[in-house]
C-alpha cells in the first residue's frame, strides 16, 4: 500500500507530501503520524504541503485532526508551504484551519517549533527555580 514517509529529525518529525493525496492515503498518514509521535516521543511535527495543489474539506479536517491529536500527545504541529491558491480556496470553502500552526516555509516552521520547545524548557526551569 502507498504510504507517505515520516522522517525523524531530533525531537521533531518531518513529513513532506509530494504526491496528490486521496482520502485513504491521508487517513493512513494521520494514523502513522500519531503512532510515530507516541513511539518517538516527538515534541514537534512539521508537515510540508508545498507540493500539494489541492486541499479540500476532508484533507483540511485530517490536518486539523493531526494537530489536535499531537497536542494531546504533547507535540506541536506546524503546517508549512501552503500555496497561495490553496489558502484562498480553503477560506472560501469555509475552512480556516483554526488550531493548526502555519509557517511560510520549512525553515520558518522549524524555527517556530524550536521556539515552542525552548519555551517549554524555560517553563520547566522556572518551575524548578521556584522549588529551590
Partner 1 sequence: MIVLSKEKLPIQREQDVVLFRNRIKELATKIGMSLVNQTKLITAASELVRNMLRYGGGGITHLEIVSRNSIPGVRLIFVDEGPGIKDVTLAMKDGYSTGKSLGLGLPGAKRLVNEFDIKSESGKGTTVTIIRWKNGL
Nearest to 54 by CA among 99, 92, 22: 22
Q: Would you give the DSSP letter of residue 19?
A: S
Asked if residue 98 binds partner 1 (CB under 8 A), the reply is: no
Q: Which of 72, 94, 129, 132 binds partner 1 (CB under 8 A)?
A: 94
CB 76 to partner 1: min, Å? 23
Which CB atom, from 14 or from 49, has the smaller least distance to partner 1? 49
Which CB atom, from 92 or from 129, has the smaller least distance to partner 1? 92
Q: How far apart (Å, rounded) are the C-alpha atoms in residues 129 and 132?
A: 5
Going from the C-alpha of 84 to that of each of 11, 88, 98, the distances in angstroms are 29, 6, 17
Site for partner 1 in 34-53 (CB under 8 A): 53
Are 15 and 7 within 8 A, CB to CB?
yes
Binding site for partner 1 (CB under 8 A): 20, 22-24, 53-58, 60-61, 83-86, 88-89, 92-95
Amino acid at each position: 500500500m502507498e504510504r507517505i514517509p515520516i522522517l525523524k529529525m531530533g525531537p521533531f518529525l518531518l513529513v513532506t507530501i509530494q504526491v496528490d493525496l486521496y482520502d485513504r492515503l491521508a487517513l493512513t498518514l494521520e494514523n502513522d503520524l500519531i503512532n510515530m509521535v507516541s513511539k518517538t516521543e516527538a515534541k514537534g511535527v512539521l508537515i510540508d504541503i508545498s507540493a500539494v495543489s489541492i486541499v479540500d474539506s476532508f484533507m483540511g479536517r485530517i490536518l486539523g485532526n493531526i494537530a489536535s491529536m499531537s497536542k494531546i500527545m504533547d507535540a506541536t504541529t506546524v503546517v508549512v508551504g501552503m500555496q497561495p491558491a490553496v489558502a484562498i480556496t480553503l477560506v472560501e470553502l469555509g475552512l480556516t484551519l483554526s488550531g493548526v500552526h502555519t509557517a511560510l516555509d520549512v525553515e520558518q516552521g522549524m524555527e517556530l517549533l524550536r521556539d515552542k520547545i525552548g519555551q517549554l524548557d524555560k517553563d520547566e526551569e522556572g518551575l524548578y527555580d521556584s522549588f529551590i
